[in-house]
């Protein structure tokens, strides 16, 4: 079953996350999560969505502020078409393929990387690897977004360094270009310049 998470509020507003048909994805504040959401109200590994039979399951990962479905706090829940999910400042709607519609064409569709399912065949490793500490989030493919304009940053830009981390904020190549000619030498003014740039982008 194909499904998506449509994001209506928060830092990723306007994104439509295409859920993988198998495996599990983790959402949280950590850059190691599959979906990184820069929200101080979220735990580093806040919740997980995983394929479950012919549907999907949502699980709270012992987060500090909780995971909510249709206004009720949950530990885990099987998702139904139209369910509203809230974590921190982010409100999402779970949509199955039968309800994909034209309203989503205005949203930025983001395919989400996922770990291999546990039952998948894997070639033998040359040497065993140490198990990750309990509760740690594995370093797996993830989606990154510009902290100024919120667009998706291509992996190639991350690999080549075309996108840059400035004062703790990740900028896409376009926003890096927008900063050309601005005085970034004075450390005290960097945050102010970035805030002004974000406001300019939002005004269009």
**pLDDT tens across 152-195, in order?**
677 777 778 787 777 777 778 888 887 776 665 554 567 777 77
Element counts in the chain: helices (H) and strands (E): 3, 14
| The pLDDT value given to residue 81 | 92
DSSP, residue by residue, 84-111: EEEETTEEEEEEEGGG--GGGGGSEEEE
Residue whose tokens read 């376009």? 174
pTM of whole model > 0.85?
no
Mean pLDDT, rounded, of the chain:
76
Q: Which residues of the chain have pLDDT under 70?
A: 1, 98-144, 150, 152, 181-189, 202, 204
Contact 142, 31 (CB under 8 A): yes
């Amino acid at each position: 079953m194909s499904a998506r998470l449509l994001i209506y509020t928060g830092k990723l507003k306007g994104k439509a996350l295409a859920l993988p048909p198998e495996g599990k994805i983790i959402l949280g504040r950590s850059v190691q999560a599959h979906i990184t959401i820069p929200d101080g109200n979220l735990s580093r590994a806040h919740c997980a969505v995983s394929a479950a039979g012919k549907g999907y399951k949502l699980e709270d990962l012992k987060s500090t502020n909780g995971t909510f479905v249709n206004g009720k706090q949950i530990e885990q829940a099987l998702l139904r078409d139209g369910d509203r999910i809230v974590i921190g400042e982010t409100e999402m709607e779970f949509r199955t393929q039968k309800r994909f519609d034209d309203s989503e064409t205005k949203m930025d569709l983001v395919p989400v990387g996922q770990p291999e399912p546990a039952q998948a065949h894997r070639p033998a490793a040359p040497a065993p690897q140490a198990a990750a500490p309990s509760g740690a989030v594995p370093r797996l493919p993830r989606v990154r977004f510009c902290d100024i304009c919120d667009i998706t940053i291509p992996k190639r830009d991350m690999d080549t360094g075309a996108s840059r981390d400035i004062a703790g904020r990740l900028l896409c190549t376009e926003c890096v270009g927008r900063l050309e000619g601005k005085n970034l030498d004075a450390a005290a003014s960097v945050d102010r310049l970035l805030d002004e740039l974000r406001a300019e982008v939002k005004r269009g």
